[in-house]
Amino acid sequence: MSDTKLSFKEMCAKFDVTPRTLRYYEYIELLQPERQGRSRFYSPRECARMTLILRGRKFGFALEEIRQWLLIYEHEGTEAQMQSWIELADRQLKELAEQRTQLDEAIDELTTLRDETKVSLEKG
């Protein structure tokens, strides 16, 4: 990976996030950019972390879960982090499947109510 560092603005553009989001991720210690005066610079390590953070958010993980998972790598290494990832993924897959079931039920119910209302209107 290249040693090129990104500025705050470049980091926002690369990951399509707002400055507020980037500052918040730093505030909750998901990211630790290097500081030079008031400027922040993001290393390849921080870019990799940001990729993992955004992927975790896409899959529905809470920011605290992501933060704890990232800490495992720092304290226990890659293997422990990967094992933790499997456990987190299994739990999240179960949660997403439950949400899918609830959505399917809501869609079916809404479709039925809409169709009944449509028929009622057509009967006059």
Give the Cα separation of 88 and 43 in Å (integer).
Answer: 27
Give the Cα separation of 49 and 57 in Å (integer).
Answer: 12
Give the Cα separation of 120 and 124 in Å (integer).
Answer: 7
Give the Cα separation of 114 and 76 in Å (integer).
Answer: 54
Report whether pLDDT(3) > 80. no
Closest alpha carbon to 100 in 63, 55, 60, 66: 60
Evaluate whether 3 touches 47 at the Cβ level (below 8 Å): no
Q: What is the pLDDT of residues 30-88, one digit of tens each?
A: 999 999 999 999 999 999 999 999 999 999 999 999 999 999 988 998 899 999 999 99
Q: Which fold, 1-58?
A: Multidrug-efflux Transporter Regulator; Chain: A; Domain 2 (1.10.1660)
Q: What is the pTM of this model?
A: 0.81
Domain ranges for the chain, please list them: 1-58, 77-124
Residue 76 has a pLDDT of 92
- Angle between helix 19-27 and 8-15 (nearest 10): 110
Residue 42 has a pLDDT of 97
